[in-house]
Structure 1
């Protein structure tokens, strides 16, 4: 049995609500804390504090970071003993990089624009959460997500430099989504290779795979766990 530590992105732990019971059904303990994303005074140290506090004295840790959670997850790996780090549709940071600078540094805006144009969407149109994030999610889950609401992410964190000088010495795996409209497939492949020197694995679905494809996501998480932890 392992302890899965699930770190959300610019949202809250509701993101993992379809994944948590599936991991528990496989005999694992699951920790899925809410990060203080609405606190304008909170930095990455505070985000990591929230995760470490939730972990407590648990061991055999598999840390999973979704999207912007990829900024927090490696910091946690330097704070507590972690067996495996898994990044899902991640914003992979570079040392000293702020989340605000990440977009331009990586070329994400141009990659998203080109994908929108290829697929017939207006890249200059008004943002629509369903079109960008929930296009592959079952209707009943979309309704639950919209009813739950999207917590407000403080803008302050986007000016905070990522504090690590290098990637932690923890086995790392990256899982990207083939239908991701925020981080297009070719962009995500390139980013993973450039920043971590590894080839990512690919899963069907959009950016929020835990909403749209929780069973497939858990299968991948478990395959990584078996590979590393046995």
Structure 2
């Protein structure tokens, strides 16, 4: 049995993954999703990673799945836990010594021009579900203070030696397909996998995402 460590994005929470967790467990796997310590102004990137590692324990094969801003945390978890695989889901890809704050300009990410939060992130998520998740995450966001983590240089000197996949979501309006294809090529030198879905694909297509994650499990 494989354990999937599911890492949420900035402004998100472990609750974002609840449908994927259920789908992965239905497929015979274990999951762990934790709220990152975003309310602690003293918490740095390694503190975020260690919160995930501690929650995962020592279960055996571990696949780290990182969404959006969680791309700055996922490789640290993979390095610390000696993960079997790392999957980035429409995620930021850090470079050594780059801060999350600097990532936007350094990668040439352009703003979407979409002001409506729902239309930008969740446009294909059922409305009742999307509003429920937004309400939950906004309550946590009111206590959020990520100053140290946001302005801290990414601490690894190179990408961890772990099999890495990237999932591009073709309907993402925040990290658009055109941007992601270039970003993945420049930072990882690989071609991303693709599926339909918005930035919050774990809510709009949880079963399909679970199938993808199971399919990319490393052999053995």
TM-score for the superposition, normalised by structure 1? 0.90
The separation in 2 between residues aligned to 1:61 and 1:204, in whole angstroms, is 26
Structure 1 residue 142 and structure 2 residue 130: aligned? yes
Show CA shifts across 1:102-127 (max 9, x none). 00011112xx44xxxxxxxxx2x6x3
Q: Is the 8 A contact 2:3 2:63 kept in 1?
A: yes
- Say whether the 8 Å CA contact 1:89–1:188 is kept in structure 2: yes
Distance 1:174 1:77 in 2: 14
Stretch of structure 1 that moved more, 78-87 or 162-171: 78-87
Structure 1 alignment gaps of length 5 or more: 114-122
- The aligned runs of 1:130-209 (5 Å cut-off) are 130-150=118-138, 151-152=140-141, 153-156=144-147, 157-209=149-201
Q: Specify every segment of 5 or more residues in structure 2 that has no aligned partner in the other structure, as ranges.
A: none
Superposition pairs for residues 59-138 of structure 1, below 5 Å? 59-109=60-110, 112-113=111-112, 123=113, 127-138=115-126
How far is 1:187 from its partner? 0.4
After TM superposition, the structure 1 = structure 2 runs for residues 27-66 of structure 1, keeping only pairs within 5 Å, are 27-66=28-67
Extract structure 1 runs of 4+ deviating beyond 6 A. Answer: none
C-alpha displacement at 1:131, in angstroms? 1.3
Q: Determine the C-alpha separation between the residues in 1 that align with 2:13 and 2:194.
A: 24
Does the 8 Å CA contact 2:40/2:146 hold for their aligned counterparts? no
Asked if 2 retains the 8 angstrom alpha-carbon contact of 1:59 and 1:81, the reply is no
Q: Secondary structure of 1:174's partner?
A: strand
Q: CA RMSD in A?
A: 1.3
String of CA shifts for 1:6-56, please: whole Å, max 9, x gaps: 111111101101100100011111111111012111100110110111011
Instruction: Answer with 1 or 2: which has the greater Rg.
Output: 1
Q: How many residues are aligned here?
A: 215
The equivalent residue for 1:5 is 5
TM-score, structure 2 as length reference: 0.94
SS at match of 1:108: coil
- CA drift of 1:76 comes to 1.1
Asked if structure 1 preserves the Cα contact closer than 8 Å seen for 2:9 and 2:70, the reply is yes
